[in-house]
């Protein structure tokens, strides 16, 4: 009898539990500015977005900021207008003829449609030493809980660091192109689920924009004036990229000390793994400021940098380790970004 009463009471308790609802104060959608101009040929892009508010993934979207007037102004007063890319709203591009001049300082100025004006601190374009040599090697990355390691290709640059100045380096990848091999002979009709081999095409050239998997930055505190080798990039092997030949231009940027500090802090924050040795989360200030309200938080950084780049063709067969080949059972031209003809400047033998 008592047992039944206890069970009944337990049920009553359960039914009385109310979900704990957390009301998160709606934060402002903060303006975020990501822009880089370099001494290389344009066009250079500045991206304007409004960040989503904090909460669940459905709280908001990162929205492009459209219709803004965006200019880059050098220390002599020369103004370059950036026009919005209508196919990719929120991206503002300089004319193709524009490139930053080493030694000059540049300021990014933005006027939004509501009249608010934002400006960057002046960023000086520093000289960049050339990449003396660029090599690559495969790299395995153990993955917790997985039998097979992840892997990819690391880029190593040799540079002769100038002794007379303090240098800050930032490496980025340009859009890459690789030989994509597929199996059209294994194509299966999706409606009938019966084999329907295609005659064409097994080899295409796929272009993609792959960012580095991390921020590759360095300063010359430890090698000022010396020749050094530094890891400057890493591209993950997805089972397709390094089957045949992969081409990428590695861009070496010479950034300001402030930009380096910003990127280092962002790198630290993005690489927090949850251990007790991690740096505490912090609010990273960029170099953009609202002229109407200097205390307004504006995220992002406007980088002006000297740039040099080097092209590398990676022969997959030369890599020590590769992922198992991924099989796409279709005409390679069906893969987004793939074309049958190689780029006009495709020259792996160079």
Residue 281 CA to residue 146 CA, distance in Å, equals 29
Q: Does 104 bind other proteins (CB under 8 A)?
A: no
CB atoms within 10 A of CB 135: 11
Considering only residues 169-208, where is the footprint of other proteins by CB under 8 A? Answer: none
x/- letters, 18..57, toward other proteins (CB under 8 A) = ----------------------------------------
Q: Can you tell me which of 67, 78, 197, 238 binds other proteins, judged by CB under 8 A?
A: 78
Q: Does 346 bind other proteins (CB under 8 A)?
A: no
What letter would DSSP give residue 239? S
Q: Does 137 bind other proteins (CB under 8 A)?
A: no
CB 260 within 8 A of CB 305: no
Encoding tokens for residue 165? 């100045």
What letter would DSSP give residue 269? H
x/- letters, 261..300, toward other proteins (CB under 8 A) = ----------------------------x-x--xx-----
Least distance (Å) between residue 111 CB and other proteins: 9
Q: Does 109 bind other proteins (CB under 8 A)?
A: yes
**Bridge partners, 120 (sequence order):** 288
Q: Can you tell me which of 79, 96, 163, 196 binds other proteins, judged by CB under 8 A?
A: 79
- 98 — phi, psi (to 5°)? -85, 130
Residue placing its CB nearer to other proteins in the complex, 52 or 289: 289
CA 167 to chain centre: 22
CB 46 within 8 A of CB 33: yes
Residue 161 CA to residue 250 CA, distance in Å, equals 17
Residues interacting with other proteins, by CB under 8 A?
71, 73, 75-79, 107, 109, 119, 121-122, 289, 291, 294-295
């Amino acid at each position: 009898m008592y047992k039944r009463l206890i069970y009944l009471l337990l049920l009553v308790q359960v039914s009385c539990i109310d979900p704990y609802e957390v009301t998160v104060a709606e934060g402002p959608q903060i303006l975020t500015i990501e822009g880089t101009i370099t001494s290389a040929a344009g066009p250079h892009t500045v991206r304007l977005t409004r960040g989503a508010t904090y909460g669940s993934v459905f709280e908001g979207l990162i929205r492009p900021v459209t219709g803004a007037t965006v200019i880059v102004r050098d220390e002599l007063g020369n103004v370059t207008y950036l026009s919005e890319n209508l196919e990719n709203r929120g991206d503002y591009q300089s004319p193709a003829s524009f490139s930053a001049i080493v030694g000059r300082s540049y300021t990014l100025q933005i006027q939004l449609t509501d009249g608010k004006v934002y400006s960057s601190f002046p960023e000086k374009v520093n000289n960049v030493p050339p990449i003396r040599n660029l090599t690559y090697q495969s790299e395995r990355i153990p993955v917790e809980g997985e039998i097979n390691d992840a892997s990819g290709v690391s880029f190593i640059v040799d540079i002769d660091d100038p002794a007379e100045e303090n240098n800050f380096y930032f490496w980025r990848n340009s859009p890459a192109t690789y030989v994509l091999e597929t199996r059209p002979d294994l194509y299966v009709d999706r409606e009938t689920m019966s084999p329907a081999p295609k005659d064409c095409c097994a080899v295409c050239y796929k272009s993609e924009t792959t960012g580095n998997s991390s921020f590759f930055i360095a300063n010359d505190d430890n090698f000022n004036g010396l020749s050094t080798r530094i890891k400057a990039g890493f591209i993950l092997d997805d089972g397709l990229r390094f089957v045949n030949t992969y081409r990428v231009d590695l861009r070496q940027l010479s950034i300001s000390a402030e930009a380096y500090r910003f990127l280092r802090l962002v790198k630290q924050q993005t690489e927090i793994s949850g251990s007790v040795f991690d740096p505490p989360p912090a609010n990273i200030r960029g170099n953009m400021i609202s002229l109407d309200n200097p205390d307004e938080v504006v995220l992002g950084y406007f980088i002006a940098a000297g740039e040099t780049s080097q092209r590398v063709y990676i022969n997959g067969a030369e890599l020590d380790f590769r992922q198992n080949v991924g099989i796409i059972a279709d005409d390679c031209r069906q893969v987004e970004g793939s074309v049958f003809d190689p780029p006009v400047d495709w020259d792996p033998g160079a």
